[in-house]
């Protein structure tokens, strides 16, 4: 039996080759960069060039960027723990809560679970978070210290936050406890399928600064899905004040980031248009896979009651919604037929989808042929399970 693994949103071999080939064309012999020896310790905030590269993704000036390490999740974990420690120390409280937009990213939820922070689910809408639902939760409970947001091509819904949603998020900063911080994970900030006509996103930091709320934002991104997954750059965007404080904390953990990898990235994208051109090449590989899934769903599930799916214009995921009480069964039925999907429920806190109605489809890694094959098997599984109900 043919098996296709669609569990995680990993870049495909072809996507990795884009960077690999670009790298082969460059000469990486400089080790004195920006006046310092990049083979040695130091420059905790990251090279100016690396910060400048991440700055447009984070939508903050390079001076507000920290380029550190290879994983934005690590930075999110460190910032969340730092926030939690301050909250506990300063308030004397022992319990903290966090808003989880659902369906959402399982690894975000895992950070809170690891830190002992209770997750409160709030359903995601087609244009962003349900601001009034969140507002009423945080009005009643000032132990809520954070909220996860993936503002562009959210994992797994593919939602891009509308201007109103971004402004709504800022209004939450205004009406919340002093610790409440929005973790703005722009992991897919430049992953448009049409990179020359990117879907716009309001720059939240800029708007928050206008209202003096900038200290309650922590922005994140990485090049995991631009260059190499696990071999790229991670970055954070903070207010000037919070960057200063957080660097003191980061300085206890590390004497400085790997500046050799930072310099490699600076050189890879040294021409002004090179990053957009690179993302165009990614899009050319991703789009046919998304189209294969979406057209198969459109052909085979269009009149199946209770079934709908997202149609993202970028990012890495498609959400498939099925009738209540069927997602787990569809997942096991597909698995029995060789198609391995992310476990049903994993886009919800504690792995529990109360409606058992959501599946995350990750078409990036398998070949186009395998993605098309898998999409058909998923449709078989959906139809089979629904028929048996
Ligand atoms: N955030 C989101 C929303 C993601 O989907 C992913 C990768 N699946 C990550 C972060 C992981 O980022 P990194 O490799 O920088 O830790």
Give the closest residue (by CA) to ligand 1 atom 2: 187
Task: Please give the distance, rounded to the nearest whole angstrom, from the Cα atom of residue 312 to the centre of ligand 1.
Answer: 17
Task: Please give the distance, rounded to the nearest whole angstrom, from the Cα atom of residue 302 to the centre of ligand 1.
Answer: 31
Task: Please give the distance, rounded to the nearest whole angstrom, from the Cα atom of residue 212 to the centre of ligand 1.
Answer: 29
d(CA 340, CA 173): 40
Where are the domains positioned within the chain?
4-17+276-387, 31-268
Burial of residue 139 (CB within 10 Å: 0-12, 13-18, 19+) is exposed
Number of residues that make up the chain: 389
| pLDDT-based confidence at residue 11 (cuts at 50, 70, 90) | very high
Q: Which residues pair with 124 in a beta bridge?
A: 129
CB 18 within 8 A of CB 278: yes
Q: What is the mean pLDDT of residues 194-215?
A: 97
Which candidate, 125, 122, 144, 142, places its Cα nearest to that of 134?
122
Torsion on CA atoms 97, 99, 105, 107, rounded to nearest 10: -20
Q: What is the mean pLDDT of residues 270-298?
A: 96
Task: Please give the distance, rounded to the nearest whole angstrom, from the Cα atom of residue 231 to the centre of ligand 1.
Answer: 13
Task: Please give the distance, rounded to the nearest whole angstrom, from the Cα atom of residue 112 to the centre of ligand 1.
Answer: 15
| pLDDT-based confidence at residue 27 (cuts at 50, 70, 90) | confident
Task: Please give the distance, rounded to the nearest whole angstrom, from the Cα atom of residue 114 to the centre of ligand 1.
Answer: 17
Residue 46: the pLDDT is: 98
Q: Which residue carries 């069927």 as its tokens?
A: 326
Say if pTM beats, i.e. exceeds, 0.95. Answer: yes
Please count the other Cβ atoms lying within 10 Å of the Cβ belonging to residue 210: 10
pLDDT above 90: residue 30: no
Q: Which residue carries 């990485």 as its tokens?
A: 222
What atom in ligand 1 is closest to the CA of residue 223?
15
List C-alpha distances in Å: 153 to 127, 239, 295, 387: 11, 24, 19, 32
Residue 77: the pLDDT is: 98
What atom in ligand 1 is closest to the CA of residue 72?
15
Which candidate, 90, 373, 69, places its Cα nearest to that of 223?
69
pLDDT above 90: residue 160: yes
Candidate from 73, 80, 218, 234 with most ligand 1 atoms within 8 A of CB, to mutate: 73
Mapping DSSP onto H, E and C, the string for the chain reads CCCEEECCCCCCHHHHHHHHHHHHCCCCCCCEECCEECCCCCCCCCCHHHHHHHHHHHCCCHHHEEECCCCHHHHHHHHHHHHHHHHHHHHCCCCCEEEEEECCCHHHHHHHHHHCCEEEEEEEECCEECHHHHHHHHHHCCCEEEEEECCCCCCCCCCCCCHHHHHHHHHHHHCCCCCCEEEEECCCCCCECCCCCCCCCCCHHHHHHHCCCHHHEEEEEECCCCCCCCCCCEEEECCHHHHHHHHHHHHHHCCCCCHHHHHHHHHHCCCCCHHHHHHHHHHHHHHHHHHHHHHHHHHHHCCCCCCEECCCCECCCEEEECCCCCHHHHHHHHHHCCEEECCCCCCCHHHCCCCCCEEEECCCCCCHHHHHHHHHHHHHHHHHHHHCC
CATH code: domain 4-17+276-387 is 3.90.1150.10
Task: Please give the distance, rounded to the nearest whole angstrom, from the Cα atom of residue 136 to the centre of ligand 1.
Answer: 29
* Helix 274-301 × helix 368-387 angle, to 10°: 30
d(CA 61, CA 68): 16
Pick 141 or 27 by higher pLDDT. Answer: 141
Candidate from 15, 57, 67, 72 with most ligand 1 atoms within 8 A of CB, to mutate: 72
Residue 227: the pLDDT is: 98
- Across 105-133, b (16+ Cβ under 10 Å) vs e yields bbebbebbbeeebebbbbebbeebbbbee
| pLDDT-based confidence at residue 272 (cuts at 50, 70, 90) | confident
Residue 302: the pLDDT is: 93
Give the closest residue (by CA) to ligand 1 atom 16: 71
Candidate from 105, 188, 318 with most ligand 1 atoms within 8 A of CB, to mutate: 105
Residue 386: the pLDDT is: 96
Residue 309: the pLDDT is: 98
Q: What is the mean pLDDT of residues 82-108?
A: 98
CB 222 within 8 A of CB 262: no
Q: What is the mean pLDDT of residues 138-146?
A: 97
Predicted confidence (pLDDT) per residue in 35-90, tens digit: 999 999 999 999 999 999 999 999 999 999 999 999 999 999 999 999 999 999 99
Give the closest residue (by CA) to ligand 1 atom 6: 187
Q: Which residue carries 């930091």 as its tokens?
A: 205
Ligand 1 pocket at CB < 6 A? 9, 71-73, 105, 150, 155, 185, 187, 222, 224, 234
Which candidate, 58, 53, 52, places its Cα nearest to that of 208?
58
Give the closest residue (by CA) to ligand 1 atom 12: 72
Task: Please give the distance, rounded to the nearest whole angstrom, from the Cα atom of residue 229 to the centre of ligand 1.
Answer: 9
pLDDT above 90: residue 29: no
pLDDT above 90: residue 28: no
- Second-level CATH architecture of 31-268: 3-Layer(aba) Sandwich (3.40)
Residue 26: the pLDDT is: 87
Task: Please give the distance, rounded to the nearest whole angstrom, from the Cα atom of residue 388 to the centre of ligand 1.
Answer: 37
């Amino acid at each position: 039996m043919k098996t296709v693994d669609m569990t995680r949103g990993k870049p495909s071999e072809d996507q990795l080759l884009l960077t690999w080939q670009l790298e082969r064309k460059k000469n990486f012999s400089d080790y004195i960069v920006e006046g310092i020896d990049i083979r040695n310790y130091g420059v905790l905030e990251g090279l100016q060039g690396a910060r400048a590269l991440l700055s447009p993704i984070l939508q903050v000036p390079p001076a507000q960027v920290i380029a550190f390490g290879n994983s934005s999740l690590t930075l999110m974990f460190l910032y969340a723990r730092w926030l939690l420690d301050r909250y506990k120390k300063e308030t004397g409280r022992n319990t903290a809560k966090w808003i989880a937009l659902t369906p959402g990213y399982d690894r975000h939820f895992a950070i809170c679970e690891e830190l002992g922070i209770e997750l409160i689910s709030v359903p995601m809408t087609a244009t962003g978070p349900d601001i009034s639902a969140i507002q009423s939760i945080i009005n009643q409970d000032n132990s809520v210290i954070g909220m996860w947001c993936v503002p562009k091509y959210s994992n797994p819904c593919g939602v891009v936050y509308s201007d109103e949603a971004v402004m709504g998020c800022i209004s939450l900063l205004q009406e919340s406890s002093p610790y409440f911080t929005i973790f703005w994970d722009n992991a897919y900030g430049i992953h448009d399928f049409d990179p020359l006509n990117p879907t716009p996103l309001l720059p939240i930091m800029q708007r928050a600064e206008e209202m003096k709320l900038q200290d309650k934002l922590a922005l994140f991104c990485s090049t995991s899905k631009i260059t190499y997954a696990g071999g790229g750059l991670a970055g954070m965007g903070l207010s000037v004040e919070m960057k200063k404080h957080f660097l003191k904390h980061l300085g206890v953990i590390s004497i400085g980031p790997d500046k050799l990898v930072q310099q490699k990235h600076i050189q890879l994208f040294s021409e002004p248009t090179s990053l957009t051109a690179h993302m165009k090449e990614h899009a050319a590989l991703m789009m046919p896979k998304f189209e294969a899934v979406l057209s198969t769903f459109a052909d085979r599930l269009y009149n199946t009651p209770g079934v709908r799916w997202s149609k993202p214009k970028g990012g890495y995921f498609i959400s498939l919604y099925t009738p209540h009480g069927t997602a787990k069964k569809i997942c096991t039925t597909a698995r029995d037929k060789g198609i391995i999907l992310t476990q049903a429920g994993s886009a919800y806190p504690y792995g529990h989808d109360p409606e058992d109605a959501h599946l995350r489809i990750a078409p990036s890694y398998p070949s186009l042929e395998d993605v098309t094959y898998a999409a058909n098997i998923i449709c078989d599984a959906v139809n089979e399970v629904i028929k048996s109900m």
